[in-house]
Amino acid sequence: MNPKLTTSQQKTFCSQLGSVKLQLLYKASIHGFTAAAFHQRCDTRGPTVSVGYNASGFVFGGYTKQPFSQSGQYEYDDQAFLFTFSGEKLLKYPVDSHDYAVKMAGNSGPYFGDDLVLVNGSKPVVYINPGHYYDFDNAAEMHGNDLNLTECEVYQVEAETTEPEKPWRTVIWESETRTELMESIRSYKPTVSSVSQIRVLLIGPVGAGKSSLFNSINSVFRGHVTSQAISGSSTTSLTTQFRSFSLKAGREGKPLPIILCDTMGLEESTGSGLNVDDISNILKGHLPDRYQFNPSVPLDSEAPSYRKSPVLKDKIHCVTYIIDACKVSIMPTKLEEKLEAIRRKVNLMGIPQLVLLTKVDEACFLVKEDVRNVYKSDYIKEMMQEVSTRLGVPLSCVVPVKNYSEELELDPNCDILLLSAVKQMLRFADNYFDDISDQFSKMELKE
């Protein structure tokens, strides 16, 4: 059997599934567009990639680690996703309801939640119900509204024996590295004497992990997993106030020289989520801690809570965008436009900008297997390059991290990624203070 999935498309899949190869199990044009043929060839053979093709040129389907069966039950899978190819580029739609990721239907082909069914009812057709258990709502983007299949293939995902490639960024995964990073952060002092703690603004879409980032970094220094900032999963922002979180070196320790400022999450629609016009007030230090955001109306300069004369220590010294690695390729246009508007405001004020790519373990199974593979993953590198292009920042300003979400104990390797991100924030703040000092020096020379 000759696979219809191109070599390039197979490579794209394998790059983010880990060190694997694809073995063709079922080809409907040969074995038949029937549930019986599919189950005969594919049952008990997981993980698998199921691919549909139509006359409109769309290539789409789903991945699951669960082996298919005919039990009629839904199966749990926290790694399942739907996909479509845009040319050679893979767009992924992650599973939202893990308990209903795959249905083991005896009368159909591959059955993903209630969202996508290939070879539905033993016919060369597709059933689609977007946004039910998977994170997508644009059926046309997936298959162009052409529900007739010209081909359906199922590939088994098999482990390769070769080791992952050499990392493209060097990280020393040793306990000494973690200790050194923690000490360098504890001992950091801003280069401007009037500022004792740098202020870093966290900006990102709803659910990207802003509050979880603070909790995760705080956990590293507390020595155990904490949850001070409100976090979780929701379609709207769980953060409704402007919060300034000061990190401490241990339960009774001194405050660290960094404050993380959390905001409402960005939302696609107008009048919801963080109001872009509030950004300037935040950057300039006009917003007080615990300011209650109003998505429809930015803070008025005459409001009682408006800080009229902020000094340098009140202002933002580094802006950090928090972006979900699973959703880089499917970022809505309006959301991207909001980020672009914010980036322009930040650029005008000369504030350094960093991007943290979160949920890298959910985006790439090679990383889920071992977070130390993060810089060996071609897929994570592609996502970092894509977010670099979309947000208009150099690749050197993009750093991958894994937040603590379900763990009860700390992982030294996750800590190293988180601490490395904090170190970049400190370096970027230094750049800001150097620029401020240069401006003052030039003004003094003119006088």
Task: For residue 205, tell me if it sits in a domain.
Answer: yes
pLDDT for position 165: 67
One domain for residues 248 and 224: yes
Task: For residue 49, tell me if it sits in a domain.
Answer: yes
Task: For residue 226, tell me if it sits in a domain.
Answer: yes
One domain for residues 197 and 233: yes
Task: For residue 441, tell me if it sits in a domain.
Answer: yes
Whether the Cβ atoms of residue 407 and residue 225 lie closer than 8 Å to each other: yes
One domain for residues 179 and 326: yes
Taking CA atoms, 165 is separated from 15, 19, 161, 173, in Å, by 11, 9, 12, 16
Residue that terminates a domain, selected from 104, 131, 159? 159
Here the tokens at position 79 are 């790694």
One domain for residues 133 and 210: no
pLDDT for position 236: 47
pLDDT for position 290: 77
Task: For residue 167, tell me if it sits in a domain.
Answer: no
One domain for residues 105 and 235: no
pLDDT for position 88: 75
Query: pTM for the complete prediction?
Result: 0.72
One domain for residues 218 and 148: no
Task: Say how many domains are in the chain.
Answer: 2
Task: For residue 222, tell me if it sits in a domain.
Answer: yes
What lies within 8 Å, CB to CB, of 29 at 6+ separation is 151
One domain for residues 134 and 196: no
The one-digit pLDDT tens for each residue of the chain (447 residues) are: 789 999 889 988 887 777 788 999 999 999 999 999 999 999 999 899 999 999 999 999 999 999 999 999 999 999 899 999 987 788 999 998 999 999 999 999 999 999 999 999 999 999 998 888 998 888 888 999 999 999 999 999 987 655 556 889 999 999 999 999 999 999 999 989 899 999 999 999 988 888 889 999 999 998 888 876 554 444 444 556 788 888 888 777 788 999 999 888 888 776 666 777 788 889 998 887 777 766 667 677 777 777 888 899 999 999 999 999 888 877 888 888 889 999 999 999 999 999 999 999 888 878 888 999 999 888 888 889 999 999 999 999 999 999 998 888 999 999 999 999 999 999 999 999 998 876 655 443 343
pLDDT for position 446: 44
Sheet of strand 102-103, all strands in order from the earlier edge strand to the far edge? 74-75, 102-103, 111-112, 116-118, 126-128
One domain for residues 204 and 67: no
DSSP character string of 96-122: S-GGGSEE--TTSS-EETTTEEESGGG
Whether the Cβ atoms of residue 259 and residue 214 lie closer than 8 Å to each other: no
| Domain span including residue 65 | 7-159
One domain for residues 354 and 241: yes
CATH number at residue 360: 3.40.50.300
Task: For residue 436, tell me if it sits in a domain.
Answer: yes
One domain for residues 195 and 147: no
